[in-house]
Amino acid sequence: MRSSITNYIKEHQRVTEIVLSTLTDSISDVAKIIYKQISHGGKLMICGNGGSASDAQHIAAEFVNRFRRERSPLPAISLTTDTSVITSISNDYSFDKIFSKQIEALANPNDILLAISTSGTSPNITQALIAAKEKQCVTISLTGKTGGDMLALSDMAIVIPSDSTPIIQEMHLMIEHLICDLVEQMHVCHSKPAGT
């Protein structure tokens, strides 16, 4: 058991070091574009499956409520939370459309879609990205492994170079927290009255 714990933590550290050395600029760029779009009246829409669905809800809560600073709410919607919408779309059409139909209904050109998938190949996520492109939204992906189908559909993508789903999920959560923190910093800084 001890060796299992040690090996897992060492793999986590290895991938964290790769993220630190190769993805910091990408994380900063994603935060900047999210802040820019929100500043121009856009909102952040987030989707994912399983653990990534939980991440979508988590990020939306951090934006709408607060992360680490007192500030005004930021517009964010998790597309994973309305069971009536999700089940009706699944029942009448297919599970692959649960996010894309919501985007067709809710998205505007200044909006951002943050799509989360460890594999990069989930059909409902790729269809969400296609729908967001058609609505002229900025498309951002958090994925893993090789990036899968999501890369070609994304304006910006952060790919975790690992084949381990739990490690990818852990890196996603860290990056999601960093994005929340950076957007919040920019929002607070630009919301201060002149001279303060």
Cβ proximity of 158 and 132 under 8 Å: no
Q: What percent of the chain has pLDDT over 70?
A: 97
86 assigned to some structural domain: yes
Model pLDDT, residue 195: 54
Percent of the chain at pLDDT exceeding 90: 96
Specify if 168 maps to a domain. Answer: yes
Number of Cα atoms under 13 Å in the Cβ half of residue 64? 13
Per the domain annotation, does 112 fall within a domain? yes
Domain containing residue 184: 2-191
Burial label for 183, CB within 10 Å (0-12, 13-18, 19+), is buried
List, edge to edge, every strand of the sheet that includes 138-144.
76-78, 44-48, 112-116, 138-144, 156-160
Could you give the C-alpha distances from 98 to 17, 154, 160, in angstroms and in order? 35, 19, 25
The end-to-end CA distance of the chain, in Å, is: 55
pLDDT in tens, 30-65: 999 999 999 999 999 999 999 999 999 999 999 999
Give the Cα separation of 87 and 79 in Å (integer).
Answer: 12
Q: Are 115 and 88 in contact (CB under 8 A)?
A: no
> Is residue 13 situated within a structural domain?
yes
The pLDDT, as a whole number, for residue 73 is 97
pTM: 0.95
Q: What is the CA radius of gyration of the chain?
A: 17
Secondary structure of the chain in HEC code, one letter for each residue: CHHHHHHHHHHHHHHHHHHHHHCHHHHHHHHHHHHHHHHCCCCEEEEECCHHHHHHHHHHHHHHCCCCCCCCCCCEEECCCCHHHHHHHHHHCCHHHCCHHHHHHHCCCCCEEEEECCCCCCHHHHHHHHHHHHCCCEEEEEEECCCHHHHHHCCEEEEECCCCHHHHHHHHHHHHHHHHHHHHHHHHHHHCCCCC
| Number of structural domains the chain divides into | 1
* 146, part of any domain: yes
What average pLDDT does this structure show over 122-134? 98
Q: pLDDT of 143-180, one tens digit each?
A: 999 999 999 999 999 999 999 999 999 999 999 999 99
Q: Is 196 among the domain residues?
A: no
CB 146 within 8 A of CB 117: no
The CATH number for 56's domain is: 3.40.50.10490
